[in-house]
Structure 1
C-alpha cells in the first residue's frame, strides 16, 4: 500500500506541475534511473509512472532522448468563435428552455453540469455552521434586530479591506450589502435605467441577467465577445451611441470564463464616463482566478464614481446564504433608496457570520483550495472532451470561474442534446439560454464546480457519446 501511495503521489505531482505550467511543453523530464534515485523507488515503479503520464497525453517518449512534456490533446482543441450578434436590441427569451433547466436545480438524481455553482462538497460547511452559532451568540438579541440600511458593518469593512487586492481602495462607507448579487443588480438597474432604455451586455451572457433586463422593460444590445479577451472593443465603440447603460462581467464571465485585459477595462470605463453612461460591473467570479493574482476590476479605474461594482459569496462560499454587495459610486443615494423600498434589511445573522469568516482568514484558505480544484477539474473535463466528444468540438480556456463553454459542429443542436441527456440523468445548459438572439444552438455550458470522481468522468463520457450520436 505504501508503494502504491508513493506511485500515485509522484505521478500526481508531476501531472500537477505540467497542468499548471511549472513544467512546460518541450521540457525534458528526469530519466527513469534518475526518477528512481530521486524518490527511492524501483525502476519498474518509475517506468510505470512515466507510462501513466503518457496515457494522460502529458508526456511523450523520444527515441534515445527520454521523456518530454507534450502538449495535451485537449490543449490543441480550438477555441470557440467570437460571437457575432446582430447590432440591434432584441428581447426574445428562450423561457421554456430556461425554465426546464432551472427546474432541475434541486434534483438529487441528476448530474447537474447545468447549474453554475460550486458543489456543497467543495465548501467549508462545518466551519460555516460554527460561524452561524457564534454570530447568534454575539449579536444583540441573537440577531433578531434589523441591520442598518447600509448593511452589516463588519461585512462592509472586510469587503473594503479585500478591495485592496484589486486596486479598489474602497472604504466601508462606499459599500451597501444586498441579498446576493442578483439583488445588487436589481437595485442598480432600478437606480440607473428606465423602461425603454438600451442596455449593453456581453454575448453570450448569464440567462438571469438577460431575464432581469427584459423584466425591467429594457432593450438588450448584445456585444460581440471574444472567448479570451471579452467584448470586441472596435464593435463596442461603434455601438456606444445606442447605449443608455452597460452591464459587464469582465472577470471570468459565465459562460466563457475570460478575463478582460486591464487596458480594455480602463478604456471601457473612460469611454462610458465621457458619455455619462453608467457601468454595472458584476464581479461575482473575481476571487476564482486560476492565476497567481486576483485580477483588477473596472472599478479599479473608476475616477468619476460611474461604476457600480457588485459582488457576492454565492459562487465562492455559500450560494444559499444570499450575501452580496454593491459599491455604487455616485449612485449611492439612489441605491439606498431602492434598498429601503425593496428589502430594508439583509439577514442579520448570515451577514454577520460571513463577515466573521472573512475576518478570520478562513475565506482565503478556502479559496486557495477551491481555485486549485476548479482548475484541475477544467483539465480533466477538457481531457474527456478531447477523447470522447465529436470531431470539430471547440472549447473555451477559462482563466478562472466555474464555467466551460463548448461549441459543436453546426449540425448538433444542444437543445436536443439536453433532452437526450436528461433521459440518462444528466443535465446541461444549452447555448440558446445565453442569448436573446438566434445563435449558440450548437453550444453549451458545463459547470466545473462538481467534485471529480470516476462516476462523474463516466457521465461526461456518456454525454460525449450522446453528442456523437447526434
Structure 2
C-alpha cells in the first residue's frame, strides 16, 4: 500500500469516527509513535495524519500529553437524521417558496444565508479584472468572434490537466464548455431523457436541479441519503428498474455537504453501468474540500463513458461569469448538437480569462485561501448554533462546500421561520425547498460563504431566538 494512500485512509477513518460520534470529545488518541507502529508507517507520516485532523479542528494537541478529540461545542450536536423519502415519483415543486427565496439575490440590505455562493469579499476580483483585459487583448478580434463549438481550448486544456488530481485523466477533446454548471446539467438531461421519463436524485437535493427536472417534464424519484456518506446504495438499487437517468452530487452535496466514500462511488458507477443507466455527476463543489486532498469523482471510476461529469467555477471563483463544462463520455455528439441549438458559443473573453487564471496557478492559490476560510466559517457558524439555537437542534458536518444543514426539533417550521427572519433582514433557505415531497419542514440550509464578523454572529443569535419562539 502506498504511503500516501495509507496516510489518507487512516486520517479519513479517524475523522469519520469523530464525526459520527464513535470517538467522543475529550478522548485521547493513540500517540504518534503508536500509530506509526500499528500501521507500519514512518513517524513523519503518522504526524501528517494528526496534522490533517488538526487542520479540520477535529483533534487538538496538548503539550506533553498527546492528541485528543476536539471539545468544540458544535461537535456535541448530533447529526441530522438520514432522509427517508417515499419511493414514489412526482414533480410537485414548492415554486412559490423557491421564487421568494431567490428573489432576494443581490439585496445588500439582507444577510443572505440563503444564497449558496461565496461572498465577493472572498474572491480575487482585482486579479480577475486584469485577466479580462488581457484576454481582450490576446484574442482575435478582441474576443468578438465565435469560439469553436466545443469551447475555449485553453480552458478545456486546463480543466483536463486539473482532472489528474482526482484520477480523471481527461483530455481537452473530452470536454465541452457550457454557460455554468446548470447549463451543463440541462444539456445532459435534454440529451438523455424525454418528457415522462423518471430520474433519480438525492434527497435532499439542490432546488435548481429539482426545478430543471420538473421543467423538462421529468418524474423525480428521491433517494435516501446519510448525512456523512451520502446516497443509500441499497435504496438506489430498488429504484433502478424505474429510472432512465441518475443525477448525483457526490462531492460536498448541497445542502448536507457529505462526500461519498470512494468505494461507494465505484459501486454506484458499476451498478448503473450494468443497467445501462447514465450517471450525470455534478462536481461543482469538488474543489472546495476541507481535507488536504481533492476527492475523487464518480468519473474517476468510469470505464465505459457512462458518466457525464459536470463542473464550473461558479462556486469557487466567479458566480456571474457562468463558466462551466461537461465531460460527456460517449454522449459527446448529442451534447454538442444541443449546445449548437441552444447557445452556439460560450462567451469567448470570459472563458479565455478563466482559462488563463487556471494556467498561471492563481486559481490554486485562491482555492487554498478559500478552503481555509470556508472551513473556519463553518466552525464559527456551528459553534454559534450550538450556543444559541433550540435544544435538540442537529447539524451536518460538511467535509467541504458552502452549505450547513440545520435540523430543528419537529415543532419548528422553517417556512414560518423564513418569514419571521426576513423581518430581521435575514434570509434563509427552508428545508422544503430541497425536496418535491412533504418533508424537511423543520430543516434549513445556511450558506457559509459569508465573511465571519461579530454582526454575522449576532444574526445567528437572532435566528436562534426566533426559532425558540416558534
Name the TM tier (shorter chain).
Answer: 0.7 to 0.9
Question: Displacement of 1:280 after TM fit?
Answer: 0.4
Using the alignment, how far apart are the partners of 2:74 and 2:278 within structure 1?
40
Paired residue for 2:103?
103
Question: Displacement of 1:405 after TM fit?
Answer: 0.2
Alignment of 1:365-404 (within 5 A): 365-404=365-404
RMSD: 2.1
Establish whether residue 309 from structure 1 lines up as the match of residue 309 from structure 2.
yes
Paired residue for 2:79?
79
CA-to-aligned-CA distance 1:376-428 (integer Å, 9 cap, x gap): 01100010000100000000000000000010010100000000000000000
Using the alignment, how far apart are the partners of 1:231 and 1:341 within structure 2?
34
- Asked whether the equivalents of residues 201 and 223 of structure 2 are also in contact (C-alpha less than 8 Å), the reply is yes
Question: Displacement of 1:237 after TM fit?
Answer: 1.0
Task: Give the 3-state SS of the residue equivalent to 1:259 in structure 2.
Answer: coil
Using the alignment, how far apart are the partners of 2:125 and 2:61 within structure 1?
42
Question: Displacement of 1:27 after TM fit?
Answer: 6.1
Question: Displacement of 1:93 after TM fit?
Answer: 0.7
- Asked whether the equivalents of residues 28 and 66 of structure 2 are also in contact (C-alpha less than 8 Å), the reply is no
Paired residue for 1:31?
none
Paired residue for 1:240?
240
Alignment of 1:160-309 (within 5 A): 160-309=160-309
Question: Displacement of 1:194 after TM fit?
Answer: 0.7
User: Which consecutive unaligned segments of at least 5 residues does structure 2 have?
Assistant: 1-18, 20-24, 30-56
Question: Displacement of 1:243 after TM fit?
Answer: 1.0
Paired residue for 2:50?
none
Using the alignment, how far apart are the partners of 1:350 and 1:26 within structure 2?
51
Residue 137 to residue 66, structure 1, CA distance change in 2 (3 Å): closer
Select between 348-357 and 453-462 the one with higher mean Cα deviation: 453-462
Question: Displacement of 1:67 after TM fit?
Answer: 12
Question: Displacement of 1:447 after TM fit?
Answer: 0.1
- Asked whether the equivalents of residues 314 and 323 of structure 2 are also in contact (C-alpha less than 8 Å), the reply is yes
Task: Give the 3-state SS of the residue equivalent to 1:252 in structure 2.
Answer: coil
Establish whether residue 421 from structure 1 lines up as the match of residue 421 from structure 2.
yes
Paired residue for 2:362?
362
Task: Give the 3-state SS of the residue equivalent to 1:280 in structure 2.
Answer: strand
Paired residue for 1:41?
none
Paired residue for 2:16?
none
Task: Give the 3-state SS of the residue equivalent to 1:418 in structure 2.
Answer: helix
Task: Give the 3-state SS of the residue equivalent to 1:200 in structure 2.
Answer: strand
Using the alignment, how far apart are the partners of 1:174 and 1:182 within structure 2?
19
CA-to-aligned-CA distance 1:129-153 (integer Å, 9 cap, x gap): 0000000011111000001000000
Task: Give the 3-state SS of the residue equivalent to 1:371 in structure 2.
Answer: helix
Paired residue for 1:321?
321
Using the alignment, how far apart are the partners of 1:211 and 1:78 within structure 2?
31
Using the alignment, how far apart are the partners of 2:225 and 2:302 within structure 1?
22
CA-to-aligned-CA distance 1:40-84 (integer Å, 9 cap, x gap): xxxxxxxxxxxxxxxx9x9999xxx99987522210100000100
Question: Displacement of 1:198 after TM fit?
Answer: 0.4
User: Which consecutive unaligned segments of at least 5 residues does structure 1 have?
Assistant: 1-18, 29-55
Alignment of 1:328-339 (within 5 A): 328-339=328-339
Using the alignment, how far apart are the partners of 1:305 and 1:119 within structure 2?
36
Using the alignment, how far apart are the partners of 2:339 and 2:190 within structure 1?
10
Paired residue for 2:456?
456
- Asked whether the equivalents of residues 199 and 245 of structure 2 are also in contact (C-alpha less than 8 Å), the reply is yes
Asked which structure has the greater CA Rg, the reply is 1
Paired residue for 1:45?
none
Question: Displacement of 1:343 after TM fit?
Answer: 0.1
Q: TM-score, normalised by structure 2?
A: 0.87
Question: Displacement of 1:370 after TM fit?
Answer: 0.3
Paired residue for 1:43?
none
Task: Give the 3-state SS of the residue equivalent to 2:106 in structure 1.
Answer: coil
Task: Give the 3-state SS of the residue equivalent to 1:309 in structure 2.
Answer: strand
Question: Displacement of 1:26 after TM fit?
Answer: 4.7
Task: Give the 3-state SS of the residue equivalent to 1:91 in structure 2.
Answer: coil
Paired residue for 2:408?
408
Paired residue for 1:10?
none
Task: Give the 3-state SS of the residue equivalent to 1:308 in structure 2.
Answer: strand
Question: Displacement of 1:239 after TM fit?
Answer: 1.2
Using the alignment, how far apart are the partners of 1:301 and 1:66 within structure 2?
39
CA-to-aligned-CA distance 1:21-41 (integer Å, 9 cap, x gap): xxx94569xxxxxxxxxxxxx
Residue 60 to residue 299, structure 1, CA distance change in 2 (3 Å): closer
Paired residue for 2:15?
none
Residue 70 to residue 188, structure 1, CA distance change in 2 (3 Å): closer
Question: Displacement of 1:372 after TM fit?
Answer: 0.2
Question: Displacement of 1:229 after TM fit?
Answer: 0.4
Question: Displacement of 1:90 after TM fit?
Answer: 1.1
